[in-house]
């Protein structure tokens, strides 16, 4: 029933994240001040009591006046609903274990945060919702609560959580704003470990997933991708490191031979200039700060975090929980607005029959 519904007309699900942080604040701000910009039905996950309490706090400080139309539903109702109304906001009651106090972390409520993520994955996996947009979470609280990933490792973030729930062996973190889209080969690892992590398979999978996503989710028929080298001056012909010669360029050349419009490894200090950015649909960086420092200098607060390679669309804000701003009315919802718009764009551009594993995505290029 839900599978027959076009993806673009399905509701978009927003998780409110850490209840003590600004997740509920920015969701409320979007629903009260940006609802006219969002033409799709909206489903959110939240503790209903805490959510309406936060609305009351924000009303006191003058952030909101008129409220959108809400309908509180339980988990089973959202699975059974045949039609979602575009002018209504559906709240799936996801109860906390303890009372929520703005700005004050509570380990007991970490279980509610994980439940939100699990529910979001389940709904997206069966096609009830067309995309997931996540508000920020507090990783330290999740760890302190003893929450683990499916493989037994300690919880370490949204990206790894959804990757394992979806059964993917590789996903790609991409951040995007109005200036550029940057995908990463490696993410949150110490700098001294980066060179060893740049392997043929990691580069090959990152390129395959990024190129597929540009075509199938962003609707760009012939994407142009530029790739950063690992070393200064892209290795200077091997004099400053040979990863470009031995690992990166052979992978890139293989994609070029198959007709993919992708560069060989380029010096990162010149790639992020207008001359090159103006012609790139996406950039692949070798490590976190190589790609995200220049990207965020062009739009911090308006940047969207995207997980590529999942069997559904998932976007997120580019900031943390900002506990000191919770309930004050001073939290900016600009990144969430962009994350919702990006998710809707990807919902509209994506294909209905998506490959569900990294290998299936890679096989499209073979």
pLDDT in tens, the chain (366 residues): 344 444 557 899 999 999 999 999 999 999 998 877 777 889 999 999 999 999 999 999 998 887 778 999 988 888 888 788 888 899 999 999 999 999 999 999 999 999 999 999 999 999 999 999 999 999 999 999 999 999 999 998 999 999 999 999 999 999 999 899 999 999 988 999 999 999 999 999 999 999 999 999 999 999 999 999 999 999 999 999 999 999 999 999 999 999 999 999 999 999 999 999 999 999 999 999 999 999 988 877 789 999 999 999 999 998 999 999 999 999 999 999 999 999 998 987 754 444 444 445 554 444
Three-state DSSP class for residue 330: coil
pTM for the predicted model, two decimal places: 0.89
How many CB atoms sit inside 10 A of residue 253's CB? 12
Per-residue exposure over 206-216, b if at least 16 CB sit within 10 Å of its own CB, e if not: bbbbbbbbbbb
Tokens of 121: 């994955």
Beta pairing, strands 172-176 & 304-308: antiparallel
Q: How far is CA 95 from CA 44, 45, 81, 149, 279, in A?
A: 13, 9, 21, 21, 47
Three-state DSSP class for residue 189: coil
Torsions phi, psi of 59, nearest 5? -70, -40
Q: Is the dihedral of CA 157, 160, 230, 283 positive or negative?
A: negative
């Amino acid at each position: 029933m839900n599978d027959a519904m076009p993806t673009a007309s399905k509701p978009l699900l927003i998780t409110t994240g850490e209840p003590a942080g600004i997740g509920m604040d920015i969701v409320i701000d979007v629903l009260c001040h940006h609802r006219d910009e969002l033409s799709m039905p909206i489903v959110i996950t939240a503790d209903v009591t805490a959510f309406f309490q936060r609305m009351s706090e924000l009303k006191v400080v003058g952030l909101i006046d008129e409220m959108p139309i809400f309908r509180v539903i339980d988990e089973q109702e959202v699975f059974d609903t045949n039609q979602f109304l575009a002018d209504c906001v559906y709240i799936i009651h996801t109860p906390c274990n303890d009372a929520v106090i703005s700005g004050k972390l509570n380990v007991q409520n970490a279980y509610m945060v994980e439940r939100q993520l699990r529910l979001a994955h389940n709904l997206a996996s069966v096609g009830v919702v067309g995309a997931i947009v996540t508000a920020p979470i507090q990783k330290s609280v999740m760890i302190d609560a003893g929450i683990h990933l499916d493989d037994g490792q300690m919880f370490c973030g949204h990206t790894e959580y959804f990757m394992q729930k979806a059964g993917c062996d590789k996903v790609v973190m991409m951040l995007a704003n109005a200036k550029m889209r940057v995908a990463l080969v490696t993410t949150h690892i110490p700098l001294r470990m980066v060179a060893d992590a740049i392997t043929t398979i990691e580069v090959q999978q990152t390129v395959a997933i990024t190129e597929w996503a540009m075509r199938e989710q962003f609707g760009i028929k012939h994407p142009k991708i530029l790739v950063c080298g690992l070393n200064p001056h892209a290795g200077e012909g091997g004099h400053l490191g040979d990863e470009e010669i031995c690992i990166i360029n052979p992978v890139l050349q293989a994609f070029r031979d198959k007709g993919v419009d992708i560069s060989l490894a380029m010096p990162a200090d010149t790639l992020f200039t207008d001359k090159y950015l103006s012609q790139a649909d996406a950039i692949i960086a070798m490590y976190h700060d190589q790609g995200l420092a220049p990207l965020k200098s062009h739009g911090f607060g308006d940047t969207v975090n995207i997980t590529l390679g999942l069997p559904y669309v998932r976007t997120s804000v580019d900031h943390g929980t900002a506990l000191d701003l919770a309930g004050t009315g001073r939290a900016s919802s600009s990144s969430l607005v962009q994350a919702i718009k990006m998710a809707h764009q990807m919902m509209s551009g994506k294909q209905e029959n998506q490959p569900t594993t990294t290998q299936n995505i890679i096989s499209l290029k073979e």
